[in-house]
Amino acid sequence: MTPPKFRLGTRMSPLAMAQAHEARDRLCAATGLSTGHIEIVAVRASGDKVQDRPLAEIGGKALWTKELDAALIAGEIDFAVHSAKDVETFRPAEIAIAAVLEREDVRDVLLGAASIAALPSGAIVGTSAPRRAAQLLHARPDCRVVPIRGNVATRLAKLAAGEVDATFLAIAGLNRLGETGTGRPLDADEWLPAPGQAAIAIECRANDTAMQNMLARIDHAPSRSAVLAERALLAALGGSCHSPVAVLTRCSGDAMVLRAVLFSPDGAERIERSVQFYSSDTGAPAQLAAALLEAAPAAISDHFARPQADLR
C-alpha cells in the first residue's frame, strides 16, 4: 500500500523554510516515510508583509500564525511548523501543539560590538523586541533603541549600511541557516532569552489523533516541558508583544528551574524570581508569575495583566 501524502505548512521566510525541512526530515527518519510523501506548503504570513513597524503595533504574534491557522482548520494542510516564540499564548481550540523538536541554543548574539559593555556611548541599536530593548537599556541607558525588522539577511544589510551601530539575532536561527560564527553570543545567564526561543513547535488539528500520534514520535520531552512551562508563565502574567519578559529554563531529568525577569519598557525597573519544580507540577509557572507581579512596581506590572483563559 502506498503511504499517504501529508502537507506541512510553513511561512515563506528562509528561516521558516529551514525549520520546515528540519521537521520533515526528522519525521521521515522517525516514521520511514520518504521526503516525497511530505509536501511543504509555503504561506506568506501577514507579519512578513509589513516590515516597517514593530510587530506589537500591527497585531502581535497572530500575524505569524493566522494564515497557517486558517489553512490548518480548513484542512488545506495537515500540520504546521512555527518558531515556538512566535506562537501566541492562547491558541484556537481546534489546534494543538503536537510536538516540540529538541531545542537549539537559546542565546542571542550581538552584532556590531564585542559585548554590551563595548558598545560606544550613545550607540544606536536596532531591535523591535521589547525584551531586548529593555535589557539593553537596563544595562546601557545611554544607548538609543530604534525599531528594526526583517529576516536575517535584511538585518545584516541594515547593520552593514550603517543604519544602526548594533543589533541582535537569535543564535538558533543563524545556526539553522548555516550562518555559524556570526556575531558575539551573549551569556544566557546574564542576557535572558525570550520564552520559547530556539524551539520549533509543530501543530495539527486537535481532533486529528492519527497525526498527533505520528508527530509524537519526534517530540522531545525535555524541550516540550520547558516550552510549555514558559508558555504557562506567559499565560499567568498576561504577557503580550508589548511586555518585556525574559525567561531561562534549565532542565535536569524531570526537574526544572524556571528563571524569569520582568522589565519596565525603558529598562529602568527590573524584577527577577525563579522556581524549581518537576515537570508534572503544572501550577509552578503560575506561582512564579504571581510572585513576580506581587513584587513588581507599577512601572512593570502596568504592562501585564492576568487573563482568565485556558492555555493550549
In tens, the pLDDT along 194-233 reads: 999 999 999 999 999 999 999 999 999 999 999 999 999 9
| Catalytically annotated residues | 86
pLDDT of 308 > 50? The answer is: no
User: What are the start-end ranges of the H helices in 6-147?
Assistant: 14-31, 46-49, 62-73, 130-139
Residue 137 — pLDDT band, cuts 50, 70, 90? very high
pLDDT (tens digit, 9 = 90+) per residue, 55-112?
555 444 556 688 999 999 999 999 999 999 989 888 999 999 999 999 999 999 999 9
The pLDDT value recorded for residue 311 is: 39
* C-alpha cell at position 122: 550613545
| Among candidate residues 106, 102, 105, 104, the one with its CA nearest the CA of residue 220 | 102
Return the minimum-mean-pLDDT range out of 123-132, 231-240, 243-252.
231-240
Give strand pairing partners of 9. Answer: 41, 80
Domains within the chain, CATH numbers bracketed: 1-103+199-219 (3.40.190.10), 108-185 (3.40.190.10), 221-306 (3.30.160.40)
Q: What's the chain's average pLDDT? A: 90
Name the DSSP letter for residue 182: -
The pLDDT value recorded for residue 66 is: 85
pLDDT (tens digit, 9 = 90+) per residue, 144-154?
999 987 778 88
Q: Which contiguous run of DSSP H or E holds residue 257?
A: strand 255-263
Residue 279 — pLDDT band, cuts 50, 70, 90? very high
pLDDT of 124 > 60? The answer is: yes
For 121, 138, 159, the CA distances from 144, given in Å and listed in that order, are: 10, 12, 15
Range among 39-43, 150-154, 180-184 with highest mean pLDDT value: 39-43
Whether 89 contacts 235, CB under 8 Å? yes
Amino acid residing at 272: E
Neighbours of 216 (CB within 10 A): 13
Q: How many whole angstroms separate alpha carbon 286 and alpha carbon 230?
A: 10
Give every CB contact of residue 213 below 8 A, 6+ residues apart in sequence.
Answer: none
Residue 35 — pLDDT band, cuts 50, 70, 90? very high
Q: How many whole angstroms separate alpha carbon 283 and alpha carbon 293?
A: 16
Residue 4 — pLDDT band, cuts 50, 70, 90? confident
Whether 292 contacts 273, CB under 8 Å? yes
114 against 44, higher pLDDT? 114
The pLDDT value recorded for residue 62 is: 59
For 29, 261, 272, 298, 307, the CA distances from 269, given in Å and listed in that order, are: 48, 10, 10, 10, 23
Place of cell 506568506: 44
- What average pLDDT does range 268-283 have in this prediction? 96
Residue 309 — pLDDT band, cuts 50, 70, 90? very low
- What average pLDDT does range 238-267 have in this prediction? 92
The pLDDT value recorded for residue 46 is: 59
The pLDDT value recorded for residue 211 is: 97
